[in-house]
Amino acid sequence: MSGALEGVLVADFTRVLAGPYATMLMADAGATVVKVERPGAGDDTRAWGPPFAPDGQSTYFQSVNRNKKSIALDLTDSGDLALARRLAQKADVLIENYKPGGLRRFGLDYPSVATDNPAVVYCSISGFGSDLGKDLPGYDLLVQAMGGLMSVTGIQEPTKAGVAVVDVLTGLHAAFAVTAALTHRERTGRGQRIEVSLLSSLLSSLVNQSSAYVGAGTVPTLMGNAHPSIAPYEVFATADRPMIIAVGNDGQFTKLVGVLGDEALADDVRYATNADRVRNRVALKTALESRLAAGGADHWQAALTAAGVPCGPINDVRQGFELASRLGLNPVVNIDDPRRAEPLPQVANPVHFSATPAVYRSAPPKVGEDRDEVIAMLRGNSEPLNT
């Protein structure tokens, strides 16, 4: 079966995380992605370790660069620049995350590329936009801080997320935008420019928290593991270790207190509705933990799950993968690749298509290893990859 994006050629002028994640998702869907890297060093993340895989590659780089072809090009060299421009002319999609305006001097900005390739879908990723924020460095941690995410994350002080979540969200927005633009092009024959910024992606992804400010003027604050609008919906101590209880409606609350053996809590006027429970969250947590102290987390998870109350333990990453495996989600794939002695384990694409499943053609490439193949394709010595 062919991938949904088979026949789409992507010129990937991105590095680090947001852009490479977007292009890997497209590669998984069948697109041919040509990754343009700096000669010698390549993508910054090639050096971001430990940990390193047995073949010496950074596992950070491996996380977002499978299914791609690598060509190393020095854009200050006339010959290499000519190849880069030829790639841009042939591409269905060009994605870049240079400093805003940084590709203009190479003739690889949108107006220049669209002159010879008007159907191109050209996606620019930046930290703070291409106008007044163009000089601000687009690092995930900075955007988590400056965009407000850290102000609502943590218990006693603002805390970053444990992964570069803004980069990932921006990559998802970019991949969605590109596929939407390709659909538009299929209908009209016209390409377009797309701009995606980390800051805008974060503000959109704050969803209910950002809506609280925009719609009601409420500025969210640190709440630790509690939820601003739902209770009980946080971490609770048990006899042995903490667990999550996530009650989303009054019916679930009634079931919860029934399992805990204290139905009177459901009749307490302080907890009659979700709004009441939110207002009296601290007292409610104390009352619930006094009952939860009678048993361990595993006991309560079994009993509450059987009753239809959402709950679960706080797993580490290994336990998260073990859970997904037990549930038949197949979270790991092994990619056979002639460049490596052993198959390379990778985190599977999370999307399951019934007709066009994700494809795993190759492991992440070495710097510039596909140069000859890419040059032959650009010179027309092989069948064109784009349609």
Task: Write down the pLDDT at residue 344.
Answer: 93
| CA max distance for the chain | 79
Query: Quick check: is 194 in a domain?
Result: yes
pLDDT digits (tens, 9 = 90+) for 203-229: 999 999 999 999 999 999 999 999 999
Task: Write down the pLDDT at residue 69.
Answer: 97
Task: Write down the pLDDT at residue 386.
Answer: 39
Enumerate long-range contacts of 211-220, CB under 8 Å, 24 or more apart: 220/148, 220/151, 220/152
Confidence class for position 196, pLDDT limits 50, 70, 90: very high
Which structure tokens are listed for 185? 């092009």
Confidence class for position 381, pLDDT limits 50, 70, 90: low
Task: Write down the pLDDT at residue 341.
Answer: 80
pLDDT(90) > 70: yes
> Cβ atoms within 10 A of the Cβ of 70, count?
22
pLDDT digits (tens, 9 = 90+) for 272-311: 999 999 999 999 999 999 999 999 999 999 999 999 999 9
pLDDT digits (tens, 9 = 90+) for 109-152: 999 999 999 999 999 999 999 999 999 999 999 999 999 999 99
Give me the residue label for tokens 């066009």. 356
**174 and 317 both lie in a single domain:** no
pLDDT digits (tens, 9 = 90+) for 298-356: 999 999 999 999 999 999 999 999 999 999 999 999 999 887 788 999 999 999 999 99
pLDDT digits (tens, 9 = 90+) for 152-193: 999 989 999 999 999 999 999 999 999 999 999 999 999 999
Task: Write down the pLDDT at residue 334.
Answer: 96
Q: What is the CATH number of the domain that holds 317?
A: 3.30.1540.10
Please, what is the average pLDDT of the chain?
Answer: 94
Query: Quick check: is 386 in a domain?
Result: no
Task: Write down the pLDDT at residue 1.
Answer: 57
Distances (CA, A) of 78 to 37, 102, 117, 205, 351: 16, 17, 20, 42, 41
- Stated pTM of the model: 0.92
Q: What is the CATH number of the domain that holds 74?
A: 3.40.50.10540
Task: Write down the pLDDT at residue 385.
Answer: 39
Rounded to whole angstroms, how far apart are CA atoms 175 and 84?
Answer: 22
Query: Quick check: is 383 in a domain?
Result: no
Q: Computed from CA positions of residues 270, 276, 282, 288, in that sequence, does the dihedral angle turn out positive or negative?
A: positive
Rounded to whole angstroms, how far apart are CA atoms 57 and 65?
Answer: 11
> Cβ atoms within 10 A of the Cβ of 367, count?
17
In degrees to the nearest 10, what's the CA dihedral of 316, 319, 325, 330? 30
Task: Write down the pLDDT at residue 293.
Answer: 96
Rounded to whole angstroms, how far apart are CA atoms 208 and 233?
Answer: 15
Task: Write down the pLDDT at residue 30.
Answer: 96
Provide the residue count of the chain.
387
Query: Quick check: is 227 in a domain?
Result: no
**101 and 125 both lie in a single domain:** yes
Rounded to whole angstroms, how far apart are CA atoms 111 and 114?
Answer: 5
**Domain interval for residue 200:** 9-205+331-378
- Which of the listed residues 282, 300, 322 is the one where a domain comes to its end? 322
Q: Contact at 8 Å (CB) between 45 and 58?
A: yes
Quote the DSSP letter at residue 346. Answer: E
> Cβ atoms within 10 A of the Cβ of 177, count?
17
Number of domains composing the chain = 2
In degrees to the nearest 10, what's the CA dihedral of 134, 139, 140, 141? -120
Confidence class for position 384, pLDDT limits 50, 70, 90: very low
Rounded to whole angstroms, how far apart are CA atoms 270 and 283?
Answer: 9
Catalytic amino acids? 167
Task: Write down the pLDDT at residue 387.
Answer: 32
- Percent residues over pLDDT 70 in the chain: 98
